[in-house]
Amino acid sequence: MQLELFVTFLFIQNQVLVATASSSSEEDEDDDKGSSHEHHWGYDDQEGWSSTFQDCRGQSQSPIDIETGKAIYDPSLPHIELEGFDLTGSSALKLQNNGHTLKLSLPSTMRIVKGFDQVYLASQLHFHWGTVAVPGSEHTINNVHFPAEIHVVHYNSKYTNISEAASKRDGLAVLGGFIGIGLHENENYEKILSALKDVSIEASDTDIPGFNVRHLLPNNLEKFYRYQGSLTTPPCFQTVHWTMFNETIMVSRKQLAALEDSLKAGHQLLSKNFRVAQLLHGRRVLASFTSSPSVNKDLSEIKPTFAPIEGQMSRGDMLSIALGALFILTLLAFSVYVYQQRKTYSRSKKHSRENVIYKPATKDDV
Ligand SMILES: [Zn+2]
């Protein structure tokens, strides 16, 4: 009887170990599997990634915080030009829950034809997100997270496949977009999000009809930030030309909630799959544009330089104005009071002087 119990205990323990191990066995930026896949990682232990994956402690890691005031305008940055992104009517695309993200496989007929020294071919796209309470973009703008982020991963056409390219200095180009909450449903995102129920279990996949993938990116591709970085998941290869578009992509609150609440990683909810911002270590962030960024910012973040513009006053600004007005009123009241007092005093002095009988000093007084 005791032996039976012991064997049962061992069996359960083994099952738990197997379940834990299989819950995190794939990377998301890189499609094809390398030797790194024998190792397991999770978002709860980001500090620990570098003990297994050396590159994760490198000096050119991603994501980063983009400080808009420090980004350098580079007019020589070529605009991005895409080809073959409209997959309407073409063969179905594989949508997969790999335990780390929601991933859509893309054909290499989709490519970036202008923007870099070489043509880059698409491999896959995936997302990073948080929870209702925690916005889950990987990159941040002036330390502000967006609700979610899309990454479209491409590899340099001079390499045979993404596996070969992933470890090369000029191997990868990722197009990234910030996802925010708007009033309307985004029908392009719905092409993917409507299939979430079919991939709720980890390692499950489904086919979705081809559609125009260009529409998942912002309308404006001309305004972007560019820097040299890495995969944001192990093995963290520092081989990515990063492009983060300035314009935010809008989805409805309901659509974002579907992304946040539908997928499982093991027995747990798949959420908060974002890496924390990494240090720049002297890297420069370039911008393709000069005007103040149109990335949606909390208005209270904007400090008025001169008079606050109507409609942009924060509670703090209004309080300062009220206090200022109160101070001026007090000063005025005080001035009036002092003036009145002086008047009264001089009048009484005049009266008292009239009553004084002149009395010359005598020697006795000294
Ligand atoms: Zn990613």
pLDDT digits (tens, 9 = 90+) for 10-50: 344 444 333 333 333 333 454 444 444 445 899 999 999 99
28-36+45-293 belongs to CATH 1.10.10.10? no
In the reported structure, the alpha carbon of residue 194 is separated from the centroid of ligand 1 by a whole-number distance in angstroms of 21
Indicate the DSSP class of residue 147: S
Q: Hey, what are 251's tokens?
A: 């989805």
| Selected residue with higher pLDDT from 79 and 335 | 79
Cβ neighbors of 85 (< 8 A, separation 6 or more) are 110, 212, 213, 214
Please give the average per-residue pLDDT across 290-300, as a whole number.
53
Q: Residue holding tokens 């909810």? A: 269
Distance 151 CA to ligand 1 centre (A): 5
Q: Could you say which DSSP state residue 247 is in?
A: S
DSSP, res 168 = S
pLDDT for position 314: 46
Task: Flag whether pLDDT at 365 surpasses 50.
Answer: no
Q: What is the pLDDT of residue 330?
A: 64
Query: Coil, strand, or helix at residue 356?
Result: coil
What residues are labeled active site?
100
* pLDDT reported for residue 40: 85
Specify the range with the lowest mean pLDDT, choosing from 122-136, 151-165, 329-343: 329-343
Q: Does 329 score more than 50 pLDDT?
A: yes
Backbone angles phi, psi at 199, to 5 degrees: -130, 30
Which tens digit of pLDDT belongs to each residue from 238-275? 999 999 999 999 999 999 999 999 999 999 999 999 99
**In which band, very low, low, confident or very high, does the pLDDT at 336 lie, cut at 50, 70 and 90?**
low
The number of C-alpha atoms within 13 Å of 47 and in the hemisphere containing its C-beta is 0
Hunting for tokens 């960024």 — which residue is that? Answer: 293
Residue 115 has pLDDT above 50, yes or no: yes
Nearest-angstrom CA–CA distance, 232 and 176: 12
**What are the residue boundaries of the structural domains of the chain, listed by start?**
28-36+45-293, 298-328
162 neighbors 32 (Cβ within 8 angstroms) = yes
pLDDT range class, residue 3, cuts 50, 70, 90:
very low
pLDDT of residue 292: 56
Please say if the pLDDT value at position 81 is more than 50: yes
Q: Is 269 helix (H, G, I), strand (E, B) or coil?
A: strand
**Stronger pLDDT, 1 or 223, i.e. the higher one:** 223
Mean residue pLDDT of the chain comes to 82
**Burial environment of residue 335 by CB neighbours within 10 A (0 to 12, 13 to 18, 19 or more):** exposed
C-alpha dist (Å) from residue 66 to 226, 229, 235: 10, 12, 23
Does residue 337 surpass a pLDDT of 70? no
Provide the residue type at 90 as one letter: S
Residue 280, amino acid: L
**330 compared with 225, residue with greater pLDDT:** 225
- Residues with Cβ within 8 Å of 155's Cβ and at least 6 positions away in sequence, in order, are 120, 121, 123, 161, 162, 165, 166, 171, 172, 173
Query: Residue 318's pLDDT is what?
Result: 52
Residue 65 has pLDDT above 50, yes or no: yes
Q: Residue 276 C-alpha to ligand 1 middle, in angstroms? A: 12
Interatomic CA distance for residues 208 and 194, integer angstroms? 10
Tokens of 74: 């580079």
Cα–Cα distance, 97 to 336 (Å, whole number) = 76
Using CB atoms within 10 Å of the CB of residue 153, give its burial: 0 to 12 exposed, 13 to 18 middle, 19+ buried: buried
Does the structure show a pLDDT above 80 at 89?
yes
pLDDT band at 331 (very low <50, low <70, confident <90, very high): low
> What is the spatial distance between Cα 318 and Cα 311, in angstroms, rounded to a whole number?
11
Other CB atoms within 10 A of residue 17 CB? 10
Average pLDDT over residues 333-360: 54
Helix (H, G, I), strand (E, B) or coil at 51: helix
The DSSP code sequence of 181-199 is EESS--HHHHHHHTTGGGG
pLDDT computed for residue 63 by the predictor: 98
Ligand 1: centre distance to CA 128 (Å): 6
- Distance, CA 145 to ligand 1 centroid (Å)? 15
Would you state the structure tokens that stand for residue 243, as one six-digit string?
Answer: 């492009």
Place of tokens 């915080």: 65
Q: What is the mean pLDDT of residues 138-165?
A: 98
Identity of the amino acid at 122: A
Bond from prior residue into 293 cis (ω within 30 degrees of 0): no
Ligand 1 center from residue 232 Cα (angstroms): 6
Distance 175 CA to ligand 1 centre (A): 10
Looking at the DSSP bridge assignments, the partners of residue 102 are 97
Average pLDDT on 219-242 reads 98
Q: Find the mean pLDDT for residues 305-325.
A: 47
Calculate how far, in angstroms, residue 361's C-alpha sits from the geometric centre of ligand 1.
100
